[in-house]
Structure 1
Amino acid sequence: MTSPATHRKALLLMISAASLWSIAGVLTRQLHAAHGFEVTFWRSLFAGLFVAGAMLWQHRSQALGKVAAAGRFGLISGVMWAVMFCCFMIALTMTTVANTLIVMSVTPLLTAVLAWMILHQKIVLRTWLAIAVALAGMVWMFAGGMSSVDATGLAGMLVATGIPIAMSVNVIVLKKAGKSLDLIPAVLLGAVISGVLMLPLAMPLQASPHDVAILAVLGVLQLGFPCMLMVSASRHLSAPEISLLGLLEVLLGPIWAWLGAGEVPAHETLAGGGIVLAALVFNELLALKEDV
């Protein structure tokens, strides 16, 4: 049984992770020469280096053993991370930040269904209500941008569907593995798989020093570090709770892209985002009240 203090700490870790994930779009829009596969390669490379460095600092000579100890759960989780890393950045180069994030908004519903089917986890009524309200908000957000989606944008949204599927499976794997198994090595594995897959497609590399600096920030602060935070938080949060809190990325991403890259969101995007935020706050306030 998770104590109230531990639950609140996990809550803060997940909020921090989702907030850091949300800066991807605005930073990607600052790139000059790097695009598509190359962006994914560099981001994965820097994420892998960061996670490897963190593991070496924490575990020293036992770091390699930690990777091996992750076993089949670590392998499955690593593949899911790789799918998310690849699909997310490729989608961002094909469609808007808002459209990419909106596709991701089905994650809580998919995660809740999988948690019910695979983990036999009872989903409390407040969480189902929060998921339903959040989905309604996403539909409202989505309605404002669909009319301007061209063929390339539609293809980008199709690529983005890999993200909620992989995210939901990954959350289930993290919960199935339990609190005793450290799956932070899976983040490293995901970065390695993603980098290896993307490198041949990224050649010849064209990123300028300016781009590499931005991609380093993306790899460390937007990918490696927050993914480690999520793994730590997942030990003390329910599967639907993890994916619901992850919607903060969907909410904040278009705002940063608006403020930092001039991608002005439609009125429906802002209104729908407010509904999503209300659903998240409602669910977590009730959860915290139950912990008291």
Structure 2
Amino acid sequence: MTDVPTPIAVAPAAPPSGRGRAAGVFALVAAATLWSLNGPLIKLLVQDGVAGITIASYRSLIGAVLFLPLAWPRRHTLRGAARGWPLAAVLCFTGMTASFVIANELAPASSAILLQYTSPVWVFLLAPLLLREYPRWSEGLVLILAMTGIGIIVLGSPPAHLRGLIVALGSGLGYGLVTLTLRGLRRVDARVITALNALGSGLLLFGPALVWGTPHLGPRQWVLLLVLGIVQFTVPYLLFAWALQRLEAHKASLLLLLEVVLNPIWTWVAVREQPPAAVLQGGVLIIAGVAGQMLLAARRGQTQAQVPPPQSG
């Protein structure tokens, strides 16, 4: 969310009231908190000399090892997928994951996570073309807030961050494309899609990681990668899936926006990276626009909960 696990469309059961709902909220807050650790963990690895392409590949492979046992019993659901959709999902997920991590190398973590969460803008623009889905124009008007926020961040950031911001926007586009491909895989079990995307992206990035990445890793670097793959990637996905049985999808999506707020805080604590003023100003508009779009989509009963990409992630 992200950077990833992957955004996943899930149909939750009718949420219970009282204690079950409170437990669901707690689990979602915990999931968003763990997902928000991607910024500081990636920054610490980069400071230790680990290339972004290596981080992206290894984290996906670690996640795949953990998710494959969960997905294997449901692998038969992949047979119902239309030809080309699984491959498209893996390619889009790979692009999203790599661009998010590289954006964290080149620009502040706050910029990377905020611009990745502009994915609803891309979904709004591309859904009519790719899926023949036509969102309401009211949702587009609300997303103008997010687009204004993008402009403030890009125009107000130092020139040295420009390459990173462009890559981060590519991550947002990738996140949007992943969301669209997952809509084309509605009949496939979410665990199968997650494992497939993690394994596929890890393998696709492994070759480039050998050529352009960091060939030798020390004990501290392996520990950070394992924390990234297990604590930041796998555990929050399981919490998210459990919580969706207790909360409505649109409420879950709104709670997950907590990741955008916490990510820069943890990054500042870990590496003393302070978000630029333009990011703070534009970030408010992006969060407002994305939250508004989620609420409007919920009103017409088309909300899907989206897992942040683990770079989101």
TM-score (norm 2): 0.69
* Farther off after superposition, 130-139 or 99-108: 99-108
**How many pairs were matched up?**
274
Say which of 211, 221, 224 aligns to 2:221: 211
Q: Which residue of structure 1 lines up, in the alignment, with residue 263 of structure 2?
A: 253
Q: Distance in 2 between matches of 1:215 and 1:19?
A: 18
Query: Structure 1 vs Structure 2: percent identity of aligned residues?
Result: 25
Correspondence 1:98-137 to 2 at 5 A: 98-137=110-149
TM-score (norm 1): 0.73
Query: Of Structure 1 and Structure 2, which has the larger fraction of its residues in helix?
Result: 1
Deviations 1:5-27, CA, capped at 9 Å, x for gaps: 46x99x97988766544321111
Provide the secondary structure at the position in 1 that maps to 2:275.
coil
**Is 1:34 paired with 2:46?**
no
Q: Tell me how far 1:244 sits from its aligned partner.
A: 8.6
Distance verdict in 2 for CA 1:144–1:265, change over 3 Å: farther
Q: Distance in 2 between matches of 1:273 and 1:144?
A: 12
Q: Which residue of structure 2 lines up, in the alignment, with residue 167 of structure 1?
A: 175
Deviations 1:116-161, CA, capped at 9 Å, x for gaps: 333333423542233111222333344442x2x32xx444344434
Provide the secondary structure at the position in 2 that maps to 1:121.
coil
Contact 2:31 2:237 (8 Å CA) reproduced? yes
**Is 1:96 paired with 2:108?**
yes
Q: Which amino acid aligns with 2:126?
A: L
Q: Which amino acid aligns with 1:97?
A: A
Say which of 194, 197, 220 aligns to 2:201: 194
Q: Distance in 1 between matches of 2:108 and 2:193?
A: 29
Q: Which residue of structure 2 lines up, in the alignment, with residue 82 of structure 1?
A: 94
Structure 2 unaligned runs (5+)?
1-10, 302-313
Q: Distance in 2 between matches of 1:263 and 1:168?
A: 27
Q: Which residue of structure 2 lines up, in the alignment, with residue 59 of structure 1?
A: none
**Is 1:53 paired with 2:69?**
yes
**Is 1:220 paired with 2:230?**
yes
Correspondence 1:254-273 to 2 at 5 A: 254-273=264-283
Please report the RMSD computed on the Cα atoms of aligned residues, expressed in angstroms. 3.9
Q: Distance in 2 between matches of 1:257 and 1:132?
A: 28
Q: Which residue of structure 2 lines up, in the alignment, with residue 274 of structure 1?
A: 284
Distance verdict in 2 for CA 1:123–1:19, change over 3 Å: farther
Structure 1 unaligned runs (5+)?
57-61
Contact 2:56 2:101 (8 Å CA) reproduced? yes
